[in-house]
């Protein structure tokens, strides 16, 4: 269970340029300030992940996401409202290059931004009060299994992080990755990575609004 004191520790860690291990609604993750280049570099080094690979920006509550992305189209906004919070990473077009340290080019060189808003379980609910976004990635070495328990996070990552939060055992399946870059204009979407939400789930949710 996460308590308010640990939430304060997390916010202080992020504000000071630190890297934290934290529990999400899927697996354990690594996070840092998405605007701090040194922190982002450290996060990638802890994972052993190539720096050119993009990462997602996580918002701890939906209101924080919508405040940070005011240029969303009407169709995108409705889809994000239906899908989030939830165990899904959404890929959006990013023509204004928001969060440049996290974004990356997609097909045809189109700038892309991945976003997440976890659906916090009751033991992790205090994390929903964090107002600042984070750059986040799973707390594992690149290409290795995701961490369901804190002890599944490699010891080198736990030792190298500035803060480690224990949220108990998590579901253990990484988020579904859904490409919405053509959704605003064409209403088209595609699954990039299977996860907790399958095609039938997504079709039902997107049809509901």
Query: For 67-90, how does the pLDDT look when each residue is reduced to its tens digit (9 = 90+)?
Result: 999 999 999 999 999 999 999 999
pLDDT tens per residue across span 126-182: 999 999 999 999 999 988 999 999 999 999 999 999 999 999 999 999 999 999 999
pLDDT of 185 strictly over 60: yes
Report angle CA 66, 87, 134 to the nearest 5 degrees. 50
Note the pTM of the prediction, 2 decimals: 0.94
Could you give the C-alpha distances from 159 to 74, 92, 154, in angstroms and in order? 44, 34, 9
Given pLDDT bands bounded at 50, 70 and 90, which one contains residue 53?
confident
Which segments of the chain are extended strands (E)? Answer: 20-23, 28-32, 56-58, 88-93, 104-105, 111-116, 134-138, 163-164, 176-179, 190-193
pLDDT number for residue 151: 98
pLDDT number for residue 110: 60
Please give the mean pLDDT across all residues of the chain. Answer: 94
Domains of the chain: 4-208 (3.90.870.10)
pLDDT tens per residue across span 59-71: 999 999 999 999 9
């Amino acid at each position: 269970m996460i308590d308010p004191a640990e939430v304060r520790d997390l916010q202080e860690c992020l504000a000071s340029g630190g890297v934290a291990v934290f529990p999400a609604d899927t697996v354990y993750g690594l996070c840092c300030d998405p605007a701090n280049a040194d922190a982002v570099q450290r996060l990638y080094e802890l994972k052993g992940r190539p720096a050119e690979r993009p990462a997602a920006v996580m918002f701890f509550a939906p209101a924080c996401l919508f405040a940070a992305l005011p240029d969303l189209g009407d169709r995108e906004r409705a889809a994000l409202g239906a899908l989030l919070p939830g165990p899904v990473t959404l890929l959006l077009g990013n023509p204004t290059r928001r969060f440049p340290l996290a974004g990356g080019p997609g097909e045809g060189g189109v700038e892309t931004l991945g976003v997440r808003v976890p659906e916090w379980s009751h033991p992790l609910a205090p994390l929903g009060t964090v107002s600042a976004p984070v750059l986040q990635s799973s707390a594992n070495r690149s290409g290795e299994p995701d961490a369901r328990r804190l002890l599944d996070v490699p010891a080198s990552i736990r030792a190298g992080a500035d803060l480690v939060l224990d949220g108990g055992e998590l579901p253990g399946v990484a988020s579904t990755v859904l490409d919405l870059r053509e959704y605003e204009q064409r209403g088209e979407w595609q699954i990039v990575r299977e996860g907790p939400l399958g095609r039938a789930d997504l079709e039902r949710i997107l049809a509901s609004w």
